[in-house]
Structure 1
Amino acid sequence: MIPSRDAVDVILVDDEDRPLGLCDKLEAHRRGLLHRAVSVFAFSADGRLWIQRRAAGKYHSSGLWSNSACTHPRDGEALDDAARRGVREELGIEVASLRYAFPIVYRADVGAALIEHEYDHVFTGEITGSVQPVAEEVDAVDLVSVDELVTAAATTPERYTPWFRLLIERVQALRAANP
């Protein structure tokens, strides 16, 4: 069963993130079509990263740990607005001091004959209040140091989403360069 939030269109893009049109999200994942996405890595005041375990009802990567929030921008929606919406819809809180970090294009088999092929815009930010995970999206949250997560993702990759495993080392390097 696909939750209603999953029955949306994604923005198909070329390899330079130029829009090509819209496509149903599930169809884009079935066909492995390159589409625009946003990932947020939100930190606590003490520098630990908020991670989430994706809800059991998600149609792919359910039960896996991932970054603070992920979403697909809506047609006409600014990337930073999509990032803020993703945090709000998944963690039930506003993210502060949101910053664009980097783009990345990746393609990953996420099981059930589905492919994530995303032009992903990665943001970092800070959460200063209490998260209120949205049950349709998130089964659990945790606050963990980035160094611990790099080690955990390398030693137990099956516990983490494919995109998280690709991104966590870049986020670690970014944090080290910009403390």
Structure 2
Amino acid sequence: MSVDTTEIILVNESDEEVGSGEKLWVHQQGLLHRAFSVLIFNDDNELLIHQRALDKYHSGGLWTNTCCGHPNVNEAIKTAAERRLGEEMGFTCDLDFLYKFHYKTAFENQLTENEIDHVFTGTYNDFFEVNPAEVIAYRWVRVADIIEEIANNPESFTFWFKKILKSQAFQAFVAENHVLS
């Protein structure tokens, strides 16, 4: 299991900072904390998804959104999302805030995600090289196709990614930007 000892931001249900804690400990305790998810599209209206490295502290080997993570203490959420996009996927681009939501889910290894997840979108079309410590595979896929894949094989995708795709905010984004087909 690969875990860093970074301090992450604890929040209340209004997403106000209330403290911090070491990343693994926060997930062992199931404490509410701040997180982000990034969704990158290309000019062909395809979404970049990736398969998490097998030794991630949870959800290893599952397919998920372009990147995700936690802001460090004293780090703005958008700055953290941009940083992590570079660390995981090997590129950065302009990101736009879409919405935030709360979710909580427990994993078989006794860890719990209890997050207020800030979702960002962006567009990227150039070359990139992923970090193999974070990503074992990636692909560009149409939203309609990924929704069908999830319906047929939900256990292959992360909990939060499935929630994002079902959200009203994401559905409105897809409709407004014509990225479903």
Question: TM-score under structure 2 normalisation?
Answer: 0.92
The separation in 2 between residues aligned to 1:82 and 1:76, in whole angstroms, is: 10
Letter in 2 for 1:108: T
Letter in 2 for 1:152: E
RMSD: 1.2
The residue that corresponds to 2:42 in the other structure is: 44
SS of the residue 1:10 aligns to: strand
Question: TM-score under structure 1 normalisation?
Answer: 0.93
Letter in 1 for 2:102: V
The residue that corresponds to 1:27 in the other structure is: 25
The residue that corresponds to 2:141 in the other structure is: 144
**In the TM superposition, what whole-angstrom CA distance separates every residue of 1:122-147 from its partner, at most 9, and x where no partner exists?**
00001121221101111010100011
The separation in 1 between residues aligned to 2:144 and 2:25, in whole angstroms, is: 36
Structure 1: where are the runs of 5+ without partners? none
The residue that corresponds to 1:120 in the other structure is: 117
Count of aligned pairs: 176
The separation in 2 between residues aligned to 1:79 and 1:154, in whole angstroms, is: 31
Greater CA deviation, 134-143 or 164-173? 164-173
Structure 2 residue 162 is the aligned partner of structure 1 residue 165: yes
SS of the residue 2:130 aligns to: coil
The residue that corresponds to 2:126 in the other structure is: 129
| Conserved 8 A contact 1:52-1:142 | yes
The separation in 1 between residues aligned to 2:91 and 2:6, in whole angstroms, is: 22
The residue that corresponds to 1:2 in the other structure is: 2
| Conserved 8 A contact 1:61-1:111 | no
Greater CA deviation, 79-88 or 165-174? 165-174
Letter in 2 for 1:70: C
The residue that corresponds to 2:98 in the other structure is: 101
Structure 2: where are the runs of 5+ without partners? none
**In the TM superposition, what whole-angstrom CA distance separates every residue of 1:49-96 from its partner, at most 9, and x where no partner exists?**
00000001211100000000001011111111111111101000112x
Aligned-pair identity (%): 39
The residue that corresponds to 2:80 in the other structure is: 82
**1:44 to 1:131, Cα distance in 2 relative to 1, 3 A:** same
| Conserved 8 A contact 1:9-1:25 | yes
Moved over 2 A (4+): 169-173
